[in-house]
Chains A and B, each alone.
Chain A
Amino acid sequence: GNSVTQMEGPVTLSEEAFLTINCTYTATGYPSLFWYVQYPGEGLQLLLKATKADDKGSNKGFEATYRKETTSFHLEKGSVQVSDSAVYFCALRGSSNTGKLIFGQGTTLQVKP
C-alpha cells in the first residue's frame, strides 16, 4: 500500500540556516504530493504541493520537487526564521477515488534566534 517516510526530528537550526527535511514515498500509480505545516496549537495548513513528476511546489520561501526516479519530495528553505518553528508533514494522495491523504510521521522544526 501507499506510505510516506519522513526524516526523524526534532530539527534544531539557527535563524538564517538552510533547511532540508527529507521525505520519500511508496505508491502505485501517480500520486499527488503535499507538505502541510502545523503551528503550535493549530490545525494543519497546506504549505505546498506538486501533482506530477518534476513539478516544483513553492510557498513562503519553501520549495519541494516531485522526484519520481527517487520517489522523494524533500522540503527545503534557504534561510529559516524563528516563525518557521512548527511541525511539518509530508503527505501523498493516491489516484483512487477516495481522496485519502497518507501522512508521514511529522518532523518538528525549532529555529533559534
Chain B
Amino acid sequence: NAGVTQTPKFRVLKTGQSMTLLCAQDMNHEYMYWYRQDPGMGLRLIHYSVGEGTTAKGEVPDGYNVSRLKKQNFLLGLESAAPSQTSVYFCASSYPRNAHTEAFFGQGTRLTVV
C-alpha cells in the first residue's frame, strides 16, 4: 500500500534555483493538496486540485506553481527559490464530494534554501 508518495524527501537549494516536488497517489483520489509546515504555524495550504487538469490557489500561493496533468500526480514547482521557502512540504489527497472523509498525507519533503 503506497498511498501518497513524495519525492524527493530532502533537498537543499541555493537562492534563485528552481525545482519540482512530485506527489503521486495510488488511491484514485480526485482531490490533491500541497501544504507547507512551519514551526508554530501549523499547515498552510499552498495550492490544491479538485481534478485532473484543474488547480486553484490556497492560502499562501505566492512563489509556487502547480500542475495536475495526470489524476495520480500533483507537481509543485518553485521557479526561483527564496530562503522564506525553507519549510517542510506535505502533499495530501482525498475523495471528493464527501466532507466527512479524511485526507491522506505523504511523508513530507524537507527543503532548505540557502
Is B43 a contact partner of A97 (Cβ separation < 8 A)? no
Q: Closest CB of chain B to A90's CB: distance in Å?
A: 9
Specify which chain A residues have a CB less than 8 angstroms from the CB of B99 in the assembled complex.
31-32, 51, 93-96, 99
Q: A43-B106, A98-B56, A99-B94 are known contacts. Are A105 and B48 too (CB-CB below 8 A)?
A: no
Partner of B108 from the list A31, A43, A93, A105 (CB cut-off 8 Å) is A43
Whether, in the assembled complex, B74 has its beta carbon less than 8 Å from a beta carbon of chain A, the answer is no
Q: A98-B31, A106-B42 are known contacts. Are A43 and B105 too (CB-CB below 8 A)?
A: yes
Of the four ranges (under 10, 10 to 19, 20 to 34, 35 or more), the interface on chain B belongs to 20 to 34
- The count of residues in chain A whose C-beta lies closer than 8 Å to any C-beta of chain B is 27
Q: A32-B99, A34-B102, A99-B96 are known contacts. Are A42 and B50 too (CB-CB below 8 A)?
A: no
Is A97 a contact partner of B107 (Cβ separation < 8 A)? no
Q: How far is the CA of A100 from the CA of B59 in the complex (A)?
A: 11
